[in-house]
């Protein structure tokens, strides 16, 4: 009887164990006091988060604008600035009759401005040209689009003549400021492209705008960005030798047929500079005030061209004995049939110095439509806060198939495709110190620290 009882108890114990095992969920880890969703996996030396078995395809990056603001046309096609209808605005340009402005053609500023906004909005616009300082602080109209570095309104930044900038104040005043008045069409086209959705200089119509308070500034030129864009250094002369390398340089008369009044002995290297002296010398029994001029022997087509220069002293454009210049040139610029508006020959004055804080840049062409002989687009640059005769500055041009962009110390001072686009033929690069007139009171000096040329491989070919 005891034996039967023992077998019965053993059977009950076995059934109890089997029932206990059946209650556990298969593959469930033992409880650790942590919710199962947070159970840590054994360490593998990598991040603890588990990767999905199959990685989902990456979503495509949305197309990004080159501007801070992504243009979206208003649904109703309206034009507003800080909620104010654009039709209530007046365009106001500061362009006085003073000597600082007298050499520039006002129509080359006014016409592109009027054409750009009229095409964008489908309405005719006029521009109020301010010729005195009365409206520096006094409003011309209730709602203004101001083009002038002298204007001051609530919410506008302090004037900085070493910057190109534009924006909209909280109360809706639109402002533009630049070192050269000739730059306003360029800034205005950038403004229309970002906020009106109009491709640059296209003359296209806009689908409307809804602009709010903003500030935009054109950054200084960056040589590293140039390298990243594929440009390579193809020419460099730091003038560290004992004498000018005439294998790389030539007198202008030799290569472009332009004979300057120079003295060969007054062009030399000294302390790492190419030096031109301007003084009275006697050559072949003829006394005259002469200077210096050389050009890079090999011509170049397109590229970034720069020189670091300390110019001679010059009191003013009207009272000039000598002027320093850095320029590119092709003799065909003087012939209508050859230049064809600058497409096949141009004179591009990267810099001409006219005073302690006054330079200019100019594009010269022949054969512009409706004209005979030379036509020009002149960019005057005053009051940037420099002392050019006492300081070295880097003067440069970025020349490509579309535009000339001219800089002083990386500050954009000219942006041009006058008249028929940029020159499409090789041109010579020239440095010069030239006497003006025959009344002189003192000797002059121009010093160049270096000249460098950068090109893309395609341009080199």
Distance CA 185, CA 147 (A): 10
pLDDT value at residue 9: 41
Answer whether 79-218 and 223-460 agree in fold: no
Cα Rg of the chain, angstroms: 35
- At the topology level of CATH, where does 79-218 sit? Chitobiase; domain 2 (3.30.379)
Strands 144-147, 90-94: parallel, antiparallel or unpaired by DSSP?
parallel
Distance CA 361, CA 380 (A): 7
What does the pLDDT look like over 123-173, one tens digit per residue?
999 999 999 889 999 999 999 999 999 999 999 999 999 999 999 999 999
Q: How do the domains of the chain map onto residue ranges?
A: 79-218, 223-460
Neighbour count for residue 29 (Cβ, 10 Å) = 9
Question: End-to-end distance of the chain based on CA atoms, in angstroms?
Answer: 113
3 state DSSP class of 312? coil
State whether residue 13 is helix, strand or coil. Answer: helix
Q: Cα separation of 150 and 393, whole Å?
A: 25
Exposed, middle or buried, 123 (CB in 10 Å: 0-12/13-18/19+)?
exposed
- The DSSP result for 38-53, as a single string, is GPPPPP-SS-SSPPPS
Phi, psi of 268 (to 5 degrees): -160, 170
Query: What is the greatest pairwise CA distance in the chain?
Result: 153
* CATH number assigned to the domain with residue range 223-460, chosen from the 4 options 2.60.120.200, 3.90.800.10, 3.90.105.10, 3.40.50.10860: 2.60.120.200
Q: How far apart are CA 343 and CA 364, in angstroms?
A: 11
Bridge partners (DSSP) of residue 109 are none
* The pLDDT of residue 460: 77
The pTM of the full predicted model, rounded to 2 decimals, is 0.85
Alpha helix stretches (DSSP H) within 68-197: 107-121, 184-196
Q: Which of 108, 291, 123, 118 is nearest to 192 (CA)?
A: 118
Q: Would you give per-residue pLDDT tens digits along the chain (461 residues)?
A: 434 444 444 444 443 433 333 333 333 333 333 333 333 333 333 333 333 444 444 443 434 468 999 999 999 999 999 999 999 999 999 999 888 898 999 999 999 999 999 999 999 999 999 998 899 999 999 999 999 999 999 999 999 999 999 999 999 999 999 999 999 999 999 999 999 999 999 999 999 999 999 999 999 999 999 999 999 999 999 999 999 999 999 999 999 988 889 999 999 999 999 999 999 999 999 999 999 999 999 999 999 999 999 999 998 888 889 999 999 999 999 999 999 999 999 999 999 999 999 999 999 999 998 899 999 999 999 999 999 999 999 999 999 999 999 999 999 999 999 999 999 999 999 999 999 877 788 999 999 999 999 999 977 77
Cis peptide before 360 (omega within 30 of 0): no
Contact yes or no for 163/183 (Cβ under 8 A)? no
Query: Which residue is associated with the tokens 């495509």?
Result: 60
Q: What is the pLDDT of residues 58-108, one digit of tens each?
A: 443 434 468 999 999 999 999 999 999 999 999 999 999 888 898 999 999
């Amino acid at each position: 009887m005891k034996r039967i009882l023992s077998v019965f108890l053993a059977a009950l114990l076995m059934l109890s164990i089997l029932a206990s095992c059946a209650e556990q969920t298969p593959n469930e880890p033992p409880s650790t006091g942590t919710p199962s969703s947070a159970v840590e996996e054994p360490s593998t030396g990598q991040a603890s988060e588990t990767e999905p078995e199959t990685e989902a395809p990456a979503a495509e990056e949305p197309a990004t604008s080159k501007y801070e603001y992504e243009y979206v046309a208003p649904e109703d096609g309206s034009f507003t600035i800080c909620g104010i209808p654009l039709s209530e605005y007046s365009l106001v340009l500061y362009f006085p009759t003073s000597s600082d402005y007298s050499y520039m053609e006002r129509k080359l500023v006014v016409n592109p401005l009027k054409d750009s906004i009229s095409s964008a909005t489908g309405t005719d616009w006029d521009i109020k040209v301010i010729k005195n300082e009365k409206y520096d602080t006094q409003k011309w109209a209730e709602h203004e689009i101001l083009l002038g570095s002298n204007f001051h309104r609530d919410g506008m930044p302090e004037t900085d003549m070493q910057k190109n900038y534009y924006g909209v104040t909280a109360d809706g005043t639109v402002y533009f400021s630049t070192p050269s008045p000739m730059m306003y069409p360029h800034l205005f086209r950038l403004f229309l492209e970002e906020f009106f959705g109009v491709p640059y200089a296209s003359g296209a119509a806009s689908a409307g705008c809804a602009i709010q308070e903003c500030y935009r500034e054109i950054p200084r030129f960056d040589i590293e960005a140039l390298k990243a864009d594929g440009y390579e250094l193809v020419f460099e002369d730091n003038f560290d030798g004992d004498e000018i390398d005439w294998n790389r340089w030539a007198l202008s008369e030799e290569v472009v047929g332009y004979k300057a009044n120079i003295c060969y002995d007054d062009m030399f290297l000294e302390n790492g500079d190419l030096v031109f002296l301007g003084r009275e010398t006697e050559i072949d029994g003829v006394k005259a005030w002469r200077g210096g001029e050389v050009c890079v022997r090999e011509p170049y087509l397109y590229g970034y061209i720069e020189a670091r220069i300390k110019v001679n002293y010059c009191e003013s454009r009207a009272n000039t004995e000598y002027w320093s210049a850095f320029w590119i040139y092709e003799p065909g610029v003087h012939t209508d049939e050859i230049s064809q508006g600058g497409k096949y020959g141009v004179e591009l004055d990267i810099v001409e110095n006219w005073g302690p804080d006054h330079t200019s840049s100019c594009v010269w062409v022949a054969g512009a439509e409706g004209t005979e002989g030379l036509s020009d687009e002149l960019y005057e640059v005053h009051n940037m806060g420099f002392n050019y005769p006492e300081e070295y500055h880097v003067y440069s041009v970025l020349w490509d198939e579309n535009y000339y962009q001219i800089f002083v110390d990386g500050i954009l001072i000219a942006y041009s495709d006058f008249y028929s686009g940029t020159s499409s033929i090789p041109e010579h690069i020239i440095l010069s110190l030239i006497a003006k007139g025959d009344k002189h009171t003192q000797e002059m000096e121009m010093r160049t620290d270096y000249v460098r040329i950068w090109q893309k491989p395609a341009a080199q070919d």
